[in-house]
Each structure stands twice: as structure tokens, then as C-alpha cells.
């Protein structure tokens, strides 16, 4: 647990950019989303033509992080993550050179109008539950060893692209609760270093429900987030930082020429 957190902190400080690239494939190719759109038609039956799941058991994919979608599709295909429906669906994606089809589909869903823009306003009756969820999400529960979710999923719940950490804001509450329970029981065991297993098994049912209710209605635009909000902005910030330090990160053309400031 400690080593995972330490690895994340190192990553957030920008050290293993090369590692993030090779682990998570970096930025989508130009035009990928347009190539992904026709291939994603089959997915719409459950995940919606706008990337909003047709029912609360089908996760929203609209605005989900490119690297995370790609990782999950690869996990379903390899068996690292299993689901009776989705494992079969992931196998229908046709093989392609350098996994281009997977990347195109991931790029397509990542650029749709994000799921949190569809989030319903919180009902007044849910106020106490949402406040509990917000408190755990932002601060964790120190005496129970529950860390702040925001440390990894970001304050606004928008996720972290380079780290393949998913957006949670605007996700279906029922789906979130199911995933937390599956991480806790070990049925879902594909988080790096089993970090989500170690966290989820500490949550009780009331805390799970409160977190899901809070996340369902969370809009990152209303949170005082810090740092870049999307992967492209993150990549530009990292390149600019390296350029100003006088060294170019591997595989980042333009950084040395200083053309990447905007």
C-alpha cells in the first residue's frame, strides 16, 4: 500500500513519464476518435450512443479517460477482469496492428461530452448522505485507514489520464457500488498493486452508498481542482516543464524547440 502510494506520488511529480507512456500507450493517434465511432456502434446497445449507459448496470463511458478505457478493454480480453457480458463483448473487437482498433474505440468514448454533464441534481432528501460521501471522498477516514479518494481520482472526480485512474464523477451509483463490492471481495482484482482491494475492503455498506451518491451528482467544474484537467493539458504541462528545465522528455517532439508552450 505504502509503496503504491509512493509510486503514485513519484509519478505525479512527473518522474516516470516514459513508464506512463509504455504502460498506458500515451496519447491517441490523430483522427482515432473518428475511426472509433463506427466500431463503437455495437457498444451503444448497452453504453448508449452518447456514451451514457442505458441502465445503471452499464457504466457510462462518455468522457472516461482514454488510457483507462484501453486498459479495461485489454483486461477484459486477457481475462484480468471478468464479466459475463463484457468479457465476450471485448472479444468482438477485431484484431489490428498495434491495437489500433482498441485505441480508436477508447479515443471515441474519451472525447464524448463527459458523463458528469448529465449528472442529476442531488435531491434535498439525500443531503446528509451526500455530505458523508463528500467527506470520505475528499479526506478519507483516518481512524479506519481509509485514504482520500481525491488523492488519486482527483478532487473533481475527473480521474487521471496518464495514470489510467478512472473518472468517477457522474458515474451510475449502482455501478460504483457494485465495483466497490467486487474489489472488496476480490472478484475484481485488476487494480495496480491491488490498491482498490485494500481500500474497498475497509468501506462498509453505508460508506459505499454515500460515496456513490456523492459521485453520481459530482461535477468537476464545481470543484476547486488543482492542475490540468485533461490528458492533453497534462502532457503539454509536462513537456513545458521539461523544456524550461532544458531537457526534452523521450518521444516528445517539439519540446526542445520550445514550441509546446500552448
Instruction: Give me the sign of the Cα torsion angle 124, 127, 133, 137.
Output: positive
- The Cα angle at residue 167 between residues 73 and 135, in degrees rounded to 5: 140
Minimum distance of ligand HEC from residue 69's CB (angstroms): 5
What span, in angstroms and rounded, lies between the C-alpha atoms of 253 and 126? 50
**CA nearest neighbour of 118 among 170, 74, 72, 82:** 170
Nearest Cα residue to 69 out of 176, 166, 170: 166
Residue closer to ligand HEC by CB (options 102, 243) is: 102
Min CB(30)–ligand HEC separation in Å:
20
Q: Which is nearer to ligand HEC, 36 or 249 (CB)?
A: 36
CB-nearer residue toward ligand HEC: 180 or 243: 180
Q: Which is nearer to ligand HEC, 169 or 238 (CB)?
A: 169
Q: Which residues bind ligand HEC (CB under 6 A)?
A: 4-5, 8, 42-43, 45-47, 57-59, 61, 69, 71-73, 83, 85-86, 89, 92-93, 105, 136, 146-147, 149, 151-153, 164-166, 168, 176, 178-180, 190-192, 195-196, 199, 211
Q: How far is the CB of 100 from ligand HEC (least distance, A)?
A: 14
Q: Which is nearer to ligand HEC, 164 or 252 (CB)?
A: 164
Nearest approach, Cβ of 106 to ligand HEC (angstroms)?
8
Phi-psi region of 116 (alpha: psi -120 to 50; beta: other; left: phi over 0): alpha
Query: What backbone torsions phi and psi does residue 160 show, to the nearest 5 degrees?
Result: -135, 105
Amino acid at each position: 500500500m505504502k509503496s503504491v502510494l509512493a509510486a503514485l506520488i513519484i509519478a505525479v511529480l512527473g518522474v516516470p513519464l516514459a513508464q506512463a507512456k509504455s504502460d498506458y500507450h500515451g496519447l491517441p493517434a490523430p483522427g482515432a476518435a473518428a475511426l472509433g465511432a463506427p466500431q463503437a456502434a455495437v457498444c451503444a446497445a448497452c453504453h448508449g450512443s452518447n456514451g451514457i449507459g442505458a441502465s445503471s448496470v452499464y457504466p457510462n463511458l462518455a468522457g472516461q479517460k482514454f488510457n483507462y478505457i484501453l486498459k479495461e478493454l485489454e483486461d477484459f480480453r486477457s481475462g484480468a477482469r471478468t464479466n459475463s457480458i463484457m468479457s465476450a463483448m471485448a472479444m468482438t473487437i477485431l484484431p489490428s496492428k498495434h491495437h489500433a482498433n482498441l485505441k480508436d474505440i477508447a479515443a471515441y468514448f474519451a472525447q464524448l461530452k463527459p458523463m458528469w454533464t448529465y449528472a442529476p441534481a442531488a435531491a434535498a432528501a439525500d443531503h446528509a448522505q451526500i455530505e458523508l460521501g463528500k467527506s470520505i471522498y475528499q479526506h478519507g477516514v483516518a481512524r479506519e485507514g481509509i485514504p482520500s479518494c481525491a488523492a488519486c481520482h482527483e478532487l473533481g472526480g475527473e480521474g487521471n489520464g496518464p495514470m489510467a485512474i478512472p473518472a468517477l464523477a457522474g458515474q451510475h451509483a449502482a455501478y460504483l457500488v457494485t465495483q466497490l463490492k467486487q474489489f472488496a471481495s476480490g472478484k475484481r482484482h485488476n487494480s495496480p498493486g491491488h490498491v482498490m482491494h485494500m481500500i474497498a475492503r475497509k468501506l462498509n455498506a453505508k460508506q459505499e452508498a454515500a460515496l456513490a451518491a456523492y459521485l453520481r451528482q459530482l461535477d468537476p467544474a464545481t470543484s476547486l481542482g488543482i492542475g490540468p484537467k485533461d490528458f492533453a493539458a497534462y502532457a503539454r504541462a509536462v513537456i513545458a516543464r521539461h523544456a524550461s528545465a532544458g531537457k526534452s522528455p523521450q518521444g516528445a517532439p517539439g519540446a526542445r524547440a520550445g514550441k509546446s508552450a500552448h
